[in-house]
Amino acid sequence: MTDFEAYVTRYSHGLSKFCIKLCGGIDDADDLFQDTWTRALEHFDAYDPEKSFQTWLFTICVNLYRNAGKSKYNTTRREFSSTEEKQRFFDTVPAEEQDIDERLDLYRALNSLPKKYRVVLSLFYLRAFTTREIAEILHIPEGTVGSRLHTAKKLLKRRLQDGSHDR
Amino acid sequence: MARMTDEGLEKLLAEYYESEPSKSLTYRSQRAEKTAKPPILSFRRAAVTAAALTLVTVLSVTAYFIFGNKSNDFISVTSSQSSTPSEQGRGGGGAPYASENSTGATERQDGGQEPTVPRSVTPAPTEKGAAQTRETTAVMPTQKPAPAQKPTESAQAPPTDSVSATEPAPTKATEPSNDPPPTEKPTYVSPTDPPWNDNPAPWEPEEPTDSGDDPPEPIVYPTQPEPKNYCYGYIMYDGGSLYCYIEDENGSMMGDPDWCSAQHLAEIVYTYGNGYVLARWSPNEHGVRPSSGYHKYGFVNEYGNTVFEDYVYTQGVS
């Protein structure tokens, strides 16, 4: 097994989960997931083994996501256009525990957020990175990570309360 | 939804993000390798093909001038050795391009062996067609071969006068000028377009797809404005005042205007010649400020850390 294959084995699960949560749909997530590994493979020579591979990998993923157009990796929008699309969404979360309407509201509210807030929320609640590592991935000061989290949650809360994501 | 507490939202987010998706994505390495194949391979392949064609041309011309005057023998040998598909591409001196183009394979199969006699490049048709081909086709070794689909047409065509089976035709380009010309002028039929020009291997990228970006991609401040399509909020400058807007993804106003109002903008630090300004301001009491531009210094977080200032590099309006 090559080094790269070993990394794929080790980090695919985390990256897969991150892409699904970030994009909100399996198809978009799969595109982002594959593109990230492809880019990582292309630039694997540039990876510094002294640094965290996971941070490097997620930096690629976030850059791809942020630098893409508005619609790329986010074709799933606030409303489900079909039963199949709705089913695809619910395939991404376990059916037990949460109230289905509450999850749907959260999903819609998250998808209505600007990309940069979705990114910081996904990175933070994935529990895989420290705030410092998130700052490194996003190329922003560590404090800005906190600021964006604060703003993201504030926006989210407001949209969940008044349903503004439906407008 | 009813009023949500901070704790409630925190719990909801934690449950959402920590829940495991019922489906997991799998890395498809084949797709990556296909995409990541370096363009140099196509150049290398082209170079090998060109070198092989040159070698075959030289050998074919040499063979022609050895056997060329015995034209009947030449054609006889040529026809008898290009009979079946299984023989082609197995080595033994077949023309490399004949093997490549008759099978559509991307790798040459001639093994680089030197042909003892020139062979027809016409791919072998069916048995019936082959019999006719022996009589009708005498494409010279130095000619470019017809596409793989052509043999059937060739085999079905009645024996014509267009190519004389007894008149091997050297190509003008490869004929040495100081050697005596053949005793009879052959009738030359121009071959169809060479298949290697229009038939690239399916994995060959038509153009480089790699943008060459090396992650991570640090933001250069402040000479590079953020792309408009990534701005969800921006500052507008009318030559005297700064105005702030925050837009949602559809371009409409969103949020509380108080979050981002001109009163929080302290000053314009520098006005660029291209209509951009570098502005500095303090966030409002909510710790919220325009989300676009390049935030160089200062921030507010939920823990009440001191905020100093923030910068934005933004496009003005005339």
- Count of residues for chain A? 167
CA distance B259 to A104: 28
> Are the C-beta atoms of B166 and B144 separated by less than 8 Å?
no
Residue B219, token pair as written in the block:
């933001």
Average pLDDT over chain B, rounded to an integer: 46
* Contact (Cβ atoms closer than 8 angstroms) between residue B137 and residue B152: no
Residues in B touching A69 (Cβ below 8 Å): 229
CA-to-CA distance for A164 and B204, rounded, in angstroms? 48
For the ranges A7-16, B8-17, B70-79, B99-108, the one whose mean pLDDT is highest: A7-16
Cross-chain Cβ contact B216/A144 below 8 Å: no
Residue A68 sits at the chain B interface (C-beta within 8 Å): no
Distance CA A58, CA A63 (A): 8
Q: Which residue has the higher pLDDT, B16 or B284?
A: B16
- pLDDT at position A114: 85
B240 vs A17, residue with greater confidence: A17
For residues B101 and B242, the model is more confident at: B242
The complex scores an ipTM of 0.79
> What is residue B31's predicted lDDT score, i.e. its pLDDT?
52
B residues 199..238 contacting A (CB < 8 A):
210, 213-219, 229-230, 232
pLDDT bucket at A126, cuts 50 / 70 / 90: confident
Q: Which chain A residue is nearest to residue B300, measuring alpha carbons?
A: A147
Chain A to chain B, count of Cβ pairs less than 8 Å apart?
165
Task: Look up residue B303 and give its two tokens.
Answer: 């823990």
Q: Higher confidence at residue B181 or residue A22?
A: A22
CA gap B299, A149 in Å, rounded: 12
| Nearest-angstrom CA–CA distance, B120 and B145 | 9
Spatial distance between the Cα atoms of A144 and B296, rounded to a whole number of angstroms: 10
**Residues B244-259 pLDDT 10s:** 444 434 444 433 333 3
pLDDT of residue B131: 35
- Six-digit token pair at A163? 């349903």
**What per-residue confidence (pLDDT) applies to A53?**
92
Question: Cα separation of B139 and B141, whole Å?
Answer: 6
* pLDDT (0 to 100) of residue B282: 45
Cβ distance B232 to A116 less than 8 Å, yes or no, reads: yes
Domain coordinates in residue numbering, chain A: 3-166
Q: For chain A, what is the mean pLDDT?
A: 79
Q: Is the pLDDT of residue A58 over 90?
A: yes
CATH number of the domain located at residue range(s) A3-166 in this protein: 1.20.140.160
Tell me which of B15, B22, B27, B294 to substitute to probe the interface with A (most A C-beta atoms closer than 10 Å): B27
Does pLDDT of A61 surpass 80?
yes
Lowest-pLDDT range of A33-42, A63-72, B156-165: B156-165
Instruction: Please tell me the distance in Å from B272's CA to the nearest CA on chain A.
Output: 24
Sorted by where each begins, the domain ranges of chain B are 38-198, 228-315
Distance to chain A for B14, nearest Cα, Å: 6
